[in-house]
Amino acid sequence: MPKSSSRARRIQHNFLGIASICLAIAPFFVIFLLVDAPYELGQMISYLVGSCAIVVGILGIAFSDRLGVSKATPITGVVLGILALVTTFTFYTVIDTRIDTSQLETNIQTYIKNQTGDLVSVHCPATIPAKRGSEVLCTAKAKDGTISRITVTITDDQGGVSVGFEK
């Protein structure tokens, strides 16, 4: 009887270690698979899953102390979880620069209101990479329902923009 109980505990220990490693690897896939998703979504999922990997790995380490079995698998999960968080931070703050769409829309609305006195609603694509020379099309809708096209050109890799209005 004690043999099967010990075996069940070892399976549980391995499960926590393996789960930790799987959770730690997941943010790398999120970064590359959800690169076109709304910016905050990919970032939030990556941070959440990476943090869960660390917690599950720590639980695996705690169980291995109690069972007297190897800590290698859960420690690997914790280390990969930390690496996933560092990679996520680096990717979303340094490598993947995007234009703040809501701020861009607000700036365009303010500009139009200052120029014409009219309130308009402005809509731009959810994801706008800060890649020099790229263009995106935004739309402005006036209270009377008139829709105008607005061309936004990215002027530098730091997110500078030039806005052109159709006449």
pLDDT for 1 beyond 50: no
76 and 137 co-located in one domain? no
pLDDT bucket at 123, cuts 50 / 70 / 90: very high
pLDDT digits (tens, 9 = 90+) for 23-36: 888 887 777 676 65
pLDDT for 125 beyond 80: yes
Last residue of a domain, one of 52, 67, 95: 95
pLDDT for 101 beyond 60: yes
Q: Rounded CA gap, 133 and 7, in Å?
A: 61
82 and 106 co-located in one domain? no
pLDDT for 140 beyond 80: yes
Cα angle 43-71-21, degrees, rounded to a multiple of 5: 25
10 and 91 co-located in one domain? yes
DSSP per residue over 37-106, as a string? S-HHHHHHHHHHHHHHHHHHHHHHHHHHHHHT---HHHHHHHHHHHHHHHHHHHIIIII--B--HHHHHH
Contact 50, 88 (CB under 8 A): yes
Q: 94 Cβ partners below 8 Å, 6+ apart?
A: none
**Which amino acid type is present at position 66?**
R
32 and 111 co-located in one domain? no
Contact 52, 19 (CB under 8 A): no
51 and 9 co-located in one domain? yes
Which pair of tokens denotes residue 116?
A: 């014409």
Contact 117, 139 (CB under 8 A): no
Last residue of a domain, one of 37, 63, 95: 95
Contact 130, 153 (CB under 8 A): no
pLDDT for 60 beyond 50: yes
- pTM for the whole structure: 0.56
pLDDT for 22 beyond 50: yes
74 and 10 co-located in one domain? yes
Q: Which domain holds residue 84?
A: 2-95
50 and 8 co-located in one domain? yes
